[in-house]
Amino acid sequence: MNNIKKIGLSALAGSLVATSAFAGSMDVSGSAKISYKSNGKEKVTGNPFSNSKGISFSGSGEMDNGWNVSTVYTMSDAAFSSSHVSIDMGDAGTFSLMNGTDLHGIDKYQDVMPTAGEQVWDDVDATDYGVVDMGSTNALGYSVDLMGVTLSTSYSRTGLGTDKSLVLVANDLIDGVQVGYGMATDTSSANVEDDLSTAWVKYTSGPATVGVQTSSIDKAANDINRKAAAISFAVNENLSVSYGLSVVDFESSSITSDEESSGISASYTAGGMTIGAVMNKTDSVGGSSGTDATFTELSVAFAF
C-alpha cells in the first residue's frame, strides 16, 4: 500500500526519553474493495454486491542496541480487525504480541498451499473443518532462523488453559523446495486438549508452484484429518491463476462421507489495483451427504 500520511516521531521520542535516542515514524495506509459474491442456488445470497474498507496504522523505530520495534493496528469497515507489537532482535529472532493476526506458530501455517486468491475451503461454509487454527487473541509468538531452518512458536492463555504450538520450516535444504512440520495443543474445553499437527511440501520452479499438505486434529473422540493439494502459475508479472483440492475425513461412526472441496482462483494486479476471481465448491459439507455448497466472488480492490 502507498502511504497517505507520515508523522515523524523523533521529536516526541527525544522529549519523552532524554537519555536515549529513538527515531521512528508512523504510517497510514488504506484499502477499498468492491465485491460481487454468490453462494449459489444452495443458499440465499441476498444482495450480491458489497464494498469493504480497511485502514492500517503502522509504526517502527530503532533502539540504541540495534533492535527494531514495530506495531500495526488494522481496522476493517471502521471496526477493529487485528494488531501486533513486534521486536526484531536481528539474529536472535523476532518476538511478538499478536491479537487477531498470525505472525508465528501453527496458525501462520494452517494452510500454505499456493493460491492466487482464496483457499478452496474458504467462505463456502461457516466452519473450516480440518484446519489447524488455534486463534491468536493476545498470543505471544517467537520466530528465529537457525542454519536454514525457521523455528516458529506461539503461546496463549485462555479461560480454559493454555494453547501452544511449535513449527519447523526448511527453505534452503533443496533449491525451490520448502518442507515444514508443526504441532500444537489447543484447549477446546475444560480439561480437554486437542492435539494438532500439520506437514507440507512445496516446490517452486519458475512461474509454477505445487504443494501438498496433511493436517490432523486429534480429539478425545471423533478425530478429523485433512489432505490438500494445489498448484499456482504466474502467467506474467501481473496475472496469476491457481487450482486446489481439499479432502476432510471425519473419524466418526455417525459421519459416513468425506467433505471434498475444490476451487479456482485468479488475480490480476496493475499498480494499486487488483482484480480477483474465486470459484469454490464443497461436497458433503461437514461430512453430511448431499449437503453441497458453492461460493463465487468477483472483486476489484484498491490500495492507497
Reported as a single tens digit per residue, the pLDDT across 250-263 is 998 888 899 999 99
Contact 43, 293 (CB under 8 A): yes
pTM: 0.86
Secondary structure letter of residue 273 according to DSSP? E
pLDDT digits (tens, 9 = 90+) for 139-187: 999 999 998 899 999 999 876 678 899 999 998 788 999 999 999 998 8
**HSE toward the beta carbon, residue 189, CA cutoff 13 A:** 3
Opening angle at CA 113, ends 303 and 210, nearest 5 = 110
Q: Residue 229 and residue 245: Cα distance in Å, rounded?
A: 5
Q: How many CB atoms lie within 10 A of CB 253?
A: 7
Which has more confidence, 31 or 125?
Answer: 31
Q: Residue 289 and residue 259: Cα distance in Å, rounded?
A: 9
H-run or E-run covering 10:
helix 10-16
Residue 237 has pLDDT above 50, yes or no: yes
Residue with cell 507440507: 200
Q: Which of 39-48, 85-94, 126-135, 216-225 has the highest mean pLDDT?
A: 85-94
Closest C-alpha among 142, 167, 165 to residue 92: 142
pLDDT of residue 190: 62
Q: Residue 34 and residue 265: Cα distance in Å, rounded?
A: 17
Cell digits of residue 218: 486429534
pLDDT of residue 267: 98
Q: Residue 94 and residue 73: Cα distance in Å, rounded?
A: 18
Residue 59 has pLDDT above 80, yes or no: yes
Which has more confidence, 88 or 190?
Answer: 88
Q: Which amino acid is at 47?
A: N
Q: Residue 97 and residue 85: Cα distance in Å, rounded?
A: 5
Q: Residue 164 and residue 148: Cα distance in Å, rounded?
A: 23
H-run or E-run covering 99:
strand 94-99
Residue 89 has pLDDT above 50, yes or no: yes
66's CB contacts (< 8 A; 6+ apart) are 90
Contact 158, 192 (CB under 8 A): no
Q: Which fold has domain 5-303?
A: Porin (2.40.160)
Q: Residue 98 and residue 78: Cα distance in Å, rounded?
A: 20
pLDDT of residue 183: 97
